[in-house]
Copies of this chain bind each other. A is one copy, B any other.
């Protein structure tokens, strides 16, 4: 399929797909006239890339991990990379959870203040 269809089917922009190619995350075939042609599996690959981006990985990290993820195989160094990224994500989840708990506490206090009629002077 061509780039427009892939974009439509994955929900990412045409520009993003070209950017992925620039980063060598997704290198399509070319028609004689120079147009990009993607195989069906490109759809899943794009979705995977999006998920990894959403997890906060950089293009470089994704580039290192993609062959491993798509084939289920691994070079030793890549396995360590995978584990490192997973640990980073776990740590990040912890950060976010703590921040959310703090926000929750603040919301509770603020709600209580409202109910008890405590005045407020917003900045």
Contacts and interface: CB of A to CB of B under 8 A. Distances in A.
Interface of A: 51-52, 54-56, 63, 65-69, 71-76, 78-79, 82-83, 85-86, 89-90, 92-93, 95-100, 102-104, 106-107, 109-111, 113-114, 118-123
Q: Is chain A's binding surface mostly helix, strand, loop or mixed?
A: helix
* Copies per assembly: 2
B107 A73 contact: no
A123 B71 CA distance: 11
A106 B67 contact: no
Given A75-B120, A107-B86, A120-B74, A99 B55 contact: yes
A118 B120 CA distance: 65
Contacts of A104: 86
